[in-house]
Structure 1
C-alpha cells in the first residue's frame, strides 16, 4: 500500500508540474510563445487553456498546435476564456503548443494572462467516465491508472532502446566510413610522396646533379 500511495503521489505531482501560468504581451508583429512536449504515435493529447480578457478587447490571441514533422492539429484564432483541444498524435515526435498575441491598437500596452495544462496518454483520459462505465472502486481506478502509466513507461523505454540502437548503428557505420576514408587518404598521400620522390630523382639525374 505504501508503494501504491507513493505511485499515486508521483502521478499527481507529474500532472501538477505540467500546468503553466504566464503573461503574453500584445505586439504588432507575430511573436510566438511556444511550449514543447514529447508525444508518442497514437497517444491521446488534451490541451486545456484558459486565456484572460475577452474577444474584442484590442488583442487577438491565436493558438497553434503543431509537431516537428509538419502536422498541424489545431489553428484557433481570436480565443478567450476556456479552450480545450483534444487529438491523437500522428507521430512519435515533439509537439509545440504556440500562442501569439496581436495588438489591435498601436498605442495601447496590453497583455493576456494564460494558464496552460497539457495532458498526454493516461493523464488525458476521462477517468470519471471510465469509473462510471466499468463500476470501478476508487482503489481499482487508481490501479488502472498505474497500470496504464506503467505501460506507457514501458513503451517509452522500448522506443528509447530502439532509438539508441539506431544511433549506435549509425555511429558504427560512420566510424567504419571514417576509418576507410583515413586509410584511403594515407594510401593516396603515400603514392603521391613516392611519385614526388621518383620525379625529383629523375629530375636531378637529368641535370646530372646525382
Structure 2
C-alpha cells in the first residue's frame, strides 16, 4: 500500500500542469513575439489554457498563435483578453511554439499584459473527471488508468527516440560511406594523374633526345 501511494504521488507529479506566469510588454508590431516552446509526439492531445489581464480597448492588442516547427498552425487569435482555451492534436512529432505579441495601440504609455499559461499534453490533457463519471471508475481504478496511459506514453516516446536514433545512425553511416568513397576516388585520380605526368614527361624527354 505504501508503494502504491508512492507511485500515485509520482504519477500525480508527472501529470501536473506546466503553468507559467509572465508579463508581455506592449511594443511595436514589428517586434518579435514572446514564445514558449514545448515538444509533442504525433497524435498527442494538447490543451493550452491562457488567462490574460486587461481588456479590449485598453490601448494594446494581445495576439496569440500556436505553430509547430514543421509549419502546422493550430490557432491564430487576435486581440483577445481574459480566458482562452485551445485543444488540438499534434500532426507531427515536433516542437511547437505558443507565441504572444502585444501590440501598442495608444502611444506614449507604458502598457503590458500579465499572462498565465498552462500547457497539458497527452494523458494530462484528458478530462479525467468526465472519464470517471462516464465509466463509473473508483478512485483507485482511475489512478491505475492514469498510470497505464502514462506508461503507454513513455513507451511510445522511447520507441520514437529509438527510431530517431536509428535514422541518425543510418545518416551517419551513409555520410561516412560517401566520404570514404570520395576519398578513394580522389586518391585514384591523383595516382592516375601522376602516372600520366610521368608517362608524358618520359615521352617528351625521349622525343627531345634528352634521355
Instruction: Give TM-score, length-normalised by structure 1.
Output: 0.93
Q: After the TM superposition, which of the residue ranges 170-179 and 44-53 deviates more from structure 2? A: 170-179
Q: Deviations over 1:107-145 (max 9, x none)?
A: 111111111111011000001111111111111111111
Q: Distance in 1 between matches of 2:188 and 2:176?
A: 18
Deviations along 1:28-82, whole A, 9 cap, x unmatched? Answer: 1242111111112221110011111111111111110111121111111111111
What aligned pairs does 1:60-79 form with structure 2 within 5 A after superposition?
60-79=61-80
Instruction: Return closer, same or farther for 1:208/1:60 CA change in 2, 3 Å cut-off.
Output: same
Counterpart position of 1:102: 103
- Secondary structure, in 3 states, of the residue corresponding to 1:47? strand
Q: Report the 3-state secondary structure (helix = DSSP H, G, I; strand = E; otherwise coil) of the residue aligned with 1:119.
A: strand
Offset at residue 90 of structure 1 (A): 1.5
Paired with 2:73 and 2:56, the residues of 1 have a C-alpha distance of 24
Compute the displacement of 1:89 (Å): 1.3
Residue-pair matches, total: 210
**Equivalence for 2:9:** 9
Q: Structure 2: which 5+ residue stretches go unaligned?
A: none
Aligned positions of 1:37-116 closer than 5 A: 37-116=38-117
Asked if 1 retains the 8 angstrom alpha-carbon contact of 2:16 and 2:124, the reply is no
SS of aligned partner of 1:156: helix
Q: Offset at 1:5?
A: 2.9
Cα deviation for residue 91 of structure 1 reads: 1.6
Instruction: Tell me the C-alpha RMSD between the 2 structures.
Output: 1.7
Structure 1: give runs of 5+ residues left out of the alignment. Answer: none
